[in-house]
Amino acid sequence: MPYEQTDEWPLAEGVALRFSRSGRPIERYAVILLIYVDGVWREVRLFDNHMGAHHMHRYTPNQGKQEPETFHPGPINVAMAAAIEHLKAHWEAIIQPWQI
C-alpha cells in the first residue's frame, strides 16, 4: 500500500495550511493555503509537483484556479520546504484579495 499523509496547521482564525505527501521516498506533494469564506474552505494558493514539475497555482475569488507558474528547480524535499516557508511568511498578503 502506498504511503500517504496529510497534515493541516492553523495559521490564524479562518486560515490554514494543508500539506499532503505520498510515496517513500516522497514522490508527490501538495501544499495548500486555505481560507474560510462564506462558510466554505477555499483554496487560495497551491504548490505541488503534479506532472513532475514544481509549480504554483494562484486562485482568485472570481476566476478560481489560474495557470501554473514554475516555482522551484530543486529536489522535492527542498521545494516542499520552500513552499511551506513561503506560505507561512506571506499568508497575510496572499489572502488580502479574498477579504471583504
Question: According to the model, what pLDDT value does residue 51 have?
Answer: 80
For the chain, what are the domain ranges?
Answer: 4-95
Identify the segments of the chain with pLDDT beneath 50.
1
Q: How far is residue 58's CA from residue 64's CA, in Å, rounded to a whole number?
A: 8
Question: According to the model, what pLDDT value does residue 1 have?
Answer: 46
Q: How far is residue 19's CA from residue 8's CA, in Å, rounded to a whole number?
A: 6
DSSP 55-80: EEEEEETTTEEPPPEE---S-HHHHH
Question: According to the model, what pLDDT value does residue 13 have?
Answer: 95
Q: How far is residue 49's CA from residue 47's CA, in Å, rounded to a whole number?
A: 7
- What proportion of the chain, given as a percentage, has pLDDT over 70? 97
